[in-house]
Amino acid sequence: MTTQKVAAQTDIQSGAAELPARLVEDLHGAFGRHHARAVHAKGTILRGRFRPHAAASTLSEAAIFIGSDVPVVARVSDFTGLPDIPDAAAEANPRGLAVRFSPLAGAEVDVVSHSYDGFPVATAAEFSLLLRAIAAHGHGDDGLLTAFFETHPVAKTFLTTQKPAPRSYATLTYFGVNAFTFTNAAGVVRHVRYRFVPEAGEDLLDDEELAASGPDYLQREIKARVAANPVAFTWFAQLAEAGDDIEDPSSAWPQSRELVRLGRIELDAMADDPDTDRALMFRPATDVAGIRFADPMLATRAAAYPISFAERQ
């Protein structure tokens, strides 16, 4: 572990109780207070089902991988805490996909992902510092952000090399950047990261198409797409190998790592009631039989979500 990561972990340990609330405040500092989600504020809810693949139960004994179809609620979204951010804005990247799996028997599982393979920083404490630097940048002071980029080049890459705007929320690959521990019925343990691959394929807008799109084009497009045909994703688990960093979400694992098919998600209905969105809180730190979180950042994220959720009620 680098000196920088040790220092960040020390910050977490010494201020563990304060850091989740601090993160919510830092998100407000970067994006403002809008009585909405602190991040990924603009989004759309869909409903459907998940059908597990036979390979899933060889990796995990979780209830969602055993038996018949599992009802799901999914939320696709834009980045930032701005509920009215234009879909075509560069700052709306990365896009988000969150899914709640609700098996008829067994515990619910929530998965939170975004359309970039990695996270800008390694720890929650570093993310707090980055958000404060972004807030200062928004007020015309670039010093903090410039200094942060000098010591965190991955963060600069994350913020400056996002994909172009997508044609649809349904035409992006989404990555779960935090690692989880899967345990199967025989007690075999594997570390994994999640990936959702669109059946429609990746499809991004060119500059001319982007210029002609409206501020809410993604919201309109997904409604029209689902009305015509279901939206589908294949859910994969990327398997860690020796040397892969389980506790650093800013370190993407090599693309050569094996992907195991967990199943197929099919979304065929919209949930247009705004109260549905307001009442829904995804829990990123799944901790059920067969699936435990491995990345310590998730403990802080799990504590921050209820704080943000309470503010938007």
Structure tokens, 223: 């409604």
pLDDT value, residue 14: 46
Q: What is the mean pLDDT of the chain?
A: 93
Tell whether the model's pLDDT for residue 74 goes beyond 70.
Answer: yes
pLDDT digits (tens, 9 = 90+) for 244-288: 999 999 999 999 999 999 999 999 999 867 678 888 999 999 899
Based on C-alpha coordinates, what's the Rg of the chain?
A: 19
pLDDT value, residue 9: 45
Percent of the chain predicted with pLDDT > 70:
94
pLDDT value, residue 286: 86
Burial readout 135-173 (b: 16 or more C-beta within 10 A, e: otherwise): bbbeeeeeebbeebbeebebbeebbeebeebbbbbbbbb
Residue 163's pLDDT band, with cuts at 50, 70 and 90, is very high
Report the 10 Å Cβ neighbour count for 184. 17
CATH class of 3-311: mainly beta
Tell whether the model's pLDDT for residue 6 goes beyond 50.
Answer: no
Tell whether the model's pLDDT for residue 208 goes beyond 50.
Answer: yes
Q: What is the mean pLDDT of residues 13-34?
A: 87
Tell whether the model's pLDDT for residue 130 goes beyond 50.
Answer: yes
Tell whether the model's pLDDT for residue 5 goes beyond 80.
Answer: no
pLDDT value, residue 305: 93
Residue 44's pLDDT band, with cuts at 50, 70 and 90, is very high
Peptide bond into 94 cis (omega under 30): yes
More confident residue, 313 or 263: 263
Q: What is the mean pLDDT of residues 64-70?
A: 92
pLDDT value, residue 110: 97
Tell whether the model's pLDDT for residue 143 goes beyond 80.
Answer: yes
pLDDT value, residue 68: 87
pLDDT value, residue 277: 83
pLDDT value, residue 15: 56
Q: What is the mean pLDDT of residues 11-25?
A: 76
Residue 306's pLDDT band, with cuts at 50, 70 and 90, is very high
